[in-house]
Amino acid sequence: MNVKELDREYIAGTYARFPVVLTHGSGSLVYDEAGKEYIDMGSGIAVNAFGVADGEWISAVTAQLGKLQHSSNLYFTEPGALLAEQLCSRTGMKKVFFANSGAEANECAIKCARKYAADKYGADRRYKLVTLKNSFHGRTITTLAATGQDEYHKLFQPLTPGFVYAEANNCAALRALVEGDENIAAIMFELVQGEGGVLPLEYDFVQCIKELCAERDILMVCDEVQTGNGRTGTLYAWQQFDIVPDIMSTAKGLGGGLPIGACLMGEKVKDTMTPGTHGSTFGGNPAVCAGALNILGRIDDKLLAEVRAKSEYIVSELSAAPGVESVAGLGLMLGVKTAKPLDEVVTACRENGVLALTAHGKLRLLPALNIPMELVEKAVAVIKAACE
């Protein structure tokens, strides 16, 4: 059997894959088994922050692999400690818990929010989290409950209780919900709803969340799993909204292609998680953290300025293109509404050598942060032609 047949036979049918078998790549170019070249405008869903087979990252990971690939969390190791230090010094957050995925980073954020409230107000009282309609927070039973989309919930009842949903960008409705419920511990949100269709929250709505949190000692939890690590043109998206979260989760791009999740805790909750309250066998794996440390160190002001410049180019080119109805997003996290049926556009892109993603009826672009301008221009030309 070939790869596609083996996969269909033996891998659980949870994915509707594009009909491409990828074998290797270099930077923002990837190749399939027939040798066809593609410009990768998805970077493994915002994971390969510096593209494929990045030399510096490989060196960082392999150097650590040659020393100690795993130790368990019963011992101290250097890479995780250095990574946590850099995450804190660049965000003002105080403590980091390392997990292995976005959903797990969010699980930690949710546990931390509930424990803060239980410690301060008594268990079984302030246990609820407000999340937003159309959000996405992961696939575990609890992060599914946090995800404000009914179609993900239907077949998996009962989900973890304690989540209530508010409409994004509706301050009055959020205020009414929060003021009408004494049991709210936290408000959790993505600053740009990714899976939900690449929709940035309005600045004023984010200020509304900030005010409500301050008035009522409610924790502000930012899910930066997708928006984080330079994706939106700042290290973390909240840095563009005049807020400082109490808890922040991130994952995807942080590991440069290896699995990592991180839950960052601010001043209020820095001592909430105590020995025995949480843990992870693989969390903080030294090889993964060594790679992440290399990635994070390279997301500097120069790279972030380039992310913003490439974003401006893509937005200005595509918003003026025939067949494009709208372009939304921040930085290199963009959603394009097309007049033509989306699957036609994605297929035309692929046939012409551009891999693009979709989200809620939109073409979704998440290229590597260091994609060369020349490849951006080529990809934009292919996307324009596919939309027309």
Ligand X SMILES: *Cc1c(COP(=O)(O)O)cnc(C)c1O
Among 12-20, 73-81, 99-107, 320-328, the segment contacting ligand X (CB under 6 A): 99-107
| Distances in whole angstroms, Cα of residue 183 to Cα of each of 130, 186, 270, 340 | 10, 9, 22, 46
Name 55's Cβ contacts closer than 8 Å, sequence gap at least 6: none
The DSSP annotation for 130-176 comes to EEEBT----SSHHHHHHSB-HHHHGGGPSPPS-EEEE-TT-HHHHHH
Which of 95, 137 has the CB closer to ligand X?
Answer: 137
Which of 138, 148 has the CB closer to ligand X?
Answer: 138
Taking the complex as a whole, how short is the minimal distance between the CB of residue 91 and ligand X, in angstroms? 17
Out of 40, 54, 190, 246, name the contact with ligand X by CB under 6 A. 190
Is residue 101 part of the contact set for ligand X (CB under 6 A)?
Answer: yes
Site for ligand X in 275-314 (CB under 6 A): none
Among 76-84, 133-141, 274-282, 328-336, the segment contacting ligand X (CB under 6 A): 133-141
Sign of CA dihedral 106, 108, 111, 113: negative
Among 221-229, 283-291, 326-334, 350-358, the segment contacting ligand X (CB under 6 A): 221-229
Sign of CA dihedral 197, 200, 205, 206: positive
Out of 194, 197, 228, 331, name the contact with ligand X by CB under 6 A. 194
Instruction: Using alpha carbons only, give the angle 332, 335, 341 rounded to the nearest 5 degrees.
Output: 145
Taking the complex as a whole, how short is the minimal distance between the CB of residue 143 and ligand X, in angstroms? 7
Taking the complex as a whole, how short is the minimal distance between the CB of residue 37 and ligand X, in angstroms? 27
Q: How many residues can be counted in the chain?
A: 388
Taking the complex as a whole, how short is the minimal distance between the CB of residue 252 and ligand X, in angstroms? 6
Is residue 251 part of the contact set for ligand X (CB under 6 A)?
Answer: yes
- The DSSP symbol for 212 reads H
Out of 102, 197, 256, 257, name the contact with ligand X by CB under 6 A. 102
Taking the complex as a whole, how short is the minimal distance between the CB of residue 12 and ligand X, in angstroms? 15
Is residue 138 part of the contact set for ligand X (CB under 6 A)?
Answer: yes
Which of 98, 387 has the CB closer to ligand X?
Answer: 98
Nearest CA among 88, 147, 133, 7 for reference residue 265: 88
Among 91-99, 155-163, 187-195, 235-243, the segment contacting ligand X (CB under 6 A): 187-195
In angstroms, the CA 103 to CA 100 distance is 8
Is residue 225 part of the contact set for ligand X (CB under 6 A)?
Answer: yes
Which of 260, 375 has the CB closer to ligand X?
Answer: 260
- Binding residues for ligand X, rule CB under 6 A, total 15
Which of 224, 246 has the CB closer to ligand X?
Answer: 224
Out of 48, 226, 250, 285, name the contact with ligand X by CB under 6 A. 226
Which of 194, 200 has the CB closer to ligand X?
Answer: 194
Nearest CA among 229, 253, 386, 370 for reference residue 318: 386
Taking the complex as a whole, how short is the minimal distance between the CB of residue 290 and ligand X, in angstroms? 20
Is residue 264 part of the contact set for ligand X (CB under 6 A)?
Answer: no
Q: Where are the beta strands (DSSP E) in the chain?
A: 22-26, 29-32, 37-40, 95-99, 128-132, 163-166, 184-189, 192-193, 199-200, 219-224, 247-250, 261-265, 324-330, 333-338, 354-355, 357-359, 362-365
* Minimal CB distance residue for ligand X: 102
Is residue 253 part of the contact set for ligand X (CB under 6 A)?
Answer: no
Nearest CA among 105, 84, 71 for reference residue 296: 84
* Other Cβ atoms within 10 Å of 171 Cβ, number: 18
Sign of CA dihedral 115, 120, 122, 128: negative
**Residues engaged in binding ligand X (CB under 6 A):** 101-103, 106, 136-138, 190, 194-195, 223, 225-226, 251-252
